[in-house]
Amino acid sequence: MRILVIGRGGREHAIVWALKRHDRDNTRRIYCAPGNAGIAQLAETVDIGELEFDRLVEFAREKAIDLVVVGPDDPLAAGIVDALEAGGLRVYGPRRNAAEIEGSKIFMKNLLHKHGIPTAKYETFTDYESAKAYLDAQPVPIVIKADGLAAGKGVTVCFNREEADAALRETMLSKAFGAAGDKVVIEEFLEGQEMSILAFVDGETVRPMPAAQDHKPVYDGDKGPNTGGMGTYSPLPHIPPSIIDVAIETIVRPTARALVAEGRPFRGVLFAGLMITKDGPKTIEFNARFGDPETQVVLPRLQTDLLDIFLASLDGRLNDIEISWSDEAAVCVILASGGYPGAYPKGLPIEGLESVADQDALVFHAGTALKEGRFVTNGGRVLGVVGRGRGIAEARDRAYAAADRIRFEGKINRTDIAAKALV
């Protein structure tokens, strides 16, 4: 079996790890384009970018690839699945028209509104003056979202009028998120606990994964600017299973049905970012792929071979396959470069990786490279350190003990990942 995973981050490292985990006969040849230094320990990395569709098709044909798995959001939104399928390849991931649920927040909000799926009240704007007039008439806190993809950073929660005015200016006028901010969603602020539910989806067939909780702001106590995620954990012992069931039945399944009804059937991983409010679960966002870093705590709990799930979905058998999950907990602590999510240095030596064995913790590389035989930093989020245990407390202790043994200049990490689950 020849498999090509597309992407370069911690999510893709976790996917490659999960595919290798069940390769007991060593019969899977896994490539990753472009990959990173950690992925290169498990797969053959290929120097082709995620958006170089023609080169990816050519490579996959040349190597007789049996399955392509797409990790990141940008290529999905740009139609990579359509391009690969047109090249005669089997691809796990949503086509462009279904991936728009992540590629455009305006599309997503309008879809949910049309089909009566719970979400925050909102308005959408294409020009600054209209957006500013509406914003001035709204109470704070309030949320301003760039319509397009912005590497997880296009959402600003504004707690006062000055923050709201600045966020709107930066998004629409200063183009802090580039063309992604040409249009905006201004949304009511939802209070409650956040929750992430990922699901394997094929049309109207939905197979949910265990719930996880991400930590977006860069500093402890959910302070500071939003990031792509500073850590996550699963399961969520402090959230009743009945609430999770309600979210699946009122949000995740209806959204899959809505996409089918709109002629955009979804096949791949559908990721619901949710807020558990006093009025029940409501949708914050949808992603069209495995979440990062949620994947790093969900896949280690998967007992079924991930490849079997991918193939069952492509063969229309997703409803028939048995998918089992471990009862053990997993906690992921992200080690990031100093300055992230703003400017940060690269090329700094990473020490201590060899001191972390798999029985202590898993280490998924997000932004690393090899330089003269040594691992060095090569991104904002550098490593995801995942502890596993009989409960959140044990998994958390193992994650932080391992994280403390890894060092690089300017290293930052939150110290309160999963603390909400232990109160």
What the chain holds in terms of domains, given with CATH numbers, is 2-96 (3.40.50.20), 121-188 (3.30.1490.20), 193-314 (3.30.470.20), 329-422 (3.90.600.10)
The strand pairing partners of 239, in sequence order, are none
**Is the N-terminal amide bond of 293 cis, ω within 30° of 0?**
yes
Calpha distance 231→294 (Å, rounded)? 8
CB atoms within 10 A of CB 275: 21
Calpha distance 235→244 (Å, rounded)? 11
Total residues belonging to the chain: 423
Calpha distance 341→218 (Å, rounded)? 8
Calpha distance 128→184 (Å, rounded)? 9
Contacts of residue 7, Cβ cutoff 8 Å, sequence gap at least 6: 15, 32, 35, 50, 70, 71, 72
Q: What is the pLDDT of residues 137-183, one digit of tens each?
A: 999 999 999 999 987 778 889 999 999 999 999 999 999 999 999 99
Q: What is the pLDDT of residues 76-113, one digit of tens each?
A: 999 999 999 999 999 999 999 999 999 999 999 999 99
User: Between the ranges 174-178, 226-230, 258-262, where is the mean pLDDT highest?
Assistant: 258-262
pLDDT band of 15, cuts 50, 70, 90: very high
Stated as kind and residue range, the H or E segment containing 295 is helix 294-298
Helix, strand, coil in percent for the chain, rounding step 5: 35, 30, 40
Average pLDDT score over residue span 284-303: 97
Contacts of residue 403, Cβ cutoff 8 Å, sequence gap at least 6: 333, 335, 361, 385, 413
- The pLDDT > 90 percentage for the chain reads 94
DSSP class of residue 171? I
> Where do the DSSP E strands lie in 278-373?
280-287, 329-336, 362-365, 368-371
Q: What is the pLDDT of residues 18-46, one digit of tens each?
A: 999 999 889 999 999 999 999 999 999 99
**Is the N-terminal amide bond of 118 cis, ω within 30° of 0?**
no
pLDDT band of 208, cuts 50, 70, 90: very high
The sign one gets for the Cα dihedral 84, 90, 96, 100 is negative
**Is the N-terminal amide bond of 281 cis, ω within 30° of 0?**
no
- The pLDDT > 70 percentage for the chain reads 100
Calpha distance 29→337 (Å, rounded)? 32
Calpha distance 94→101 (Å, rounded)? 10
Convert 80-117 to b/e letters by CB count within 10 Å (16 or more is b): bbbbbbebebbbbbbbbbbbbbbbbbbbbbebbeeeeb
